[in-house]
Amino acid sequence: MPTRPVNKDDALEDFVAREITLNGVTKVVHVSGTGPAVIVMTEMPGISPHVARFSRWVRDAGFTVYMPSLFGRDGALVSAEEGVAVMQRACVSAEFRAFAANESSPVTMWLRALARHAHDERGGPGVGAIGMCFTGNFALSMMLEPAMLAPVVSQPSLPLNDPAGMAMTPDELAAVRERLEREDLTVMAYRFAGDKFCKAQRFAAFAEALGDRFVARVLPDSAANTDLPSFFATHVTTPHSVVTAHLIDEAGQPTIAARDEILSFFKHRLT
């Protein structure tokens, strides 16, 4: 497991920054590893050193990580002010539906295409994906792509103004549930109990929509790291980021158990 520091910018030099064009849209995707593909979608405010650390854990578990650049400065440990500016731009971007309770963000179409592309490149039974925070719901929306087999939803925060909203249309949710049941698949989901951005109402709504195919894990707030970068210390005032900024990288910690469960989930479905 990598031990590089997360309190300074990450050069991402062990990833290949590829420009991938899908559906007529080109994005930079940082790729590293061998084995079946796992798409790691960054939380706000971008591909931070904490997000890169998680991607390396996935890679070192035997997977090819595809980490698309969706917002922010890749590898940067940004200030509180820059992080807010990134979030504000994303909230008004045409790619995202930050305040729409029953709509999927348009960027999910590109991400589904990335799942197809990654599966074509890496083979295996299918593709895994994890979304976090602003992208948390996206892994579930990507289940409309047949190549997607292992979705992980971590602290899904959209829509921002509706605690019970799910950022997917009812038809999409119904289609995802039908597929989960037909193919005997599950969705893993994680949040902290006191998270103000991903409240209990959202997990309850997902559980109602998806039944026991939605496997929820709720971690106690006491399990969250308190040594935080500036953006999180200033603007994320409750435990939130289960496998990144709020993870405590010590054996026996609940956040490490969550990380290991996610890695085992990917291995079970993809290898």
100-114 residue pLDDT tens: 667 788 999 999 999
For the segment(s) 16-270, the CATH number from 3.40.50.1820, 3.40.50.720, 3.50.50.60, 3.40.50.2300 is 3.40.50.1820
Residues 122-174: tens digit of each pLDDT: 999 999 999 999 999 999 999 999 999 999 999 999 999 999 998 888 999 99
Cα gap 67→99, rounded to integer Å: 25
Q: Encoding tokens for residue 66?
A: 């595809």
User: Residue ranges per domain, the chain?
Assistant: 16-270
Average pLDDT, the chain: 95
In 110-179, at which residue ranges do the beta strands (DSSP E only) sit? Answer: 127-132, 148-154
263 phi and psi angles, rounded to 5 deg: -60, -40
Distance CA 24, CA 96 (A): 17
Asked if residue 43 lies in contact with residue 17, where contact means CB atoms within 8 angstroms, the answer is: no
pTM score: 0.96
Total residues belonging to the chain:
271
Which residues, at least 6 apart from 205, have a Cβ–Cβ distance to it below 8 Å?
164, 165, 166
Tell me which residue of 184, 172, 175 sits closest to 213, measured CA to CA.
184
**Which positions ≥6 away from 46 have C-beta within 8 Å?**
69, 70, 71, 72, 73, 74, 76, 78, 86
Kind of pairing, strands 25-33 and 127-132?
A: unpaired
Q: Decide if pLDDT at 73 tops 70.
A: yes
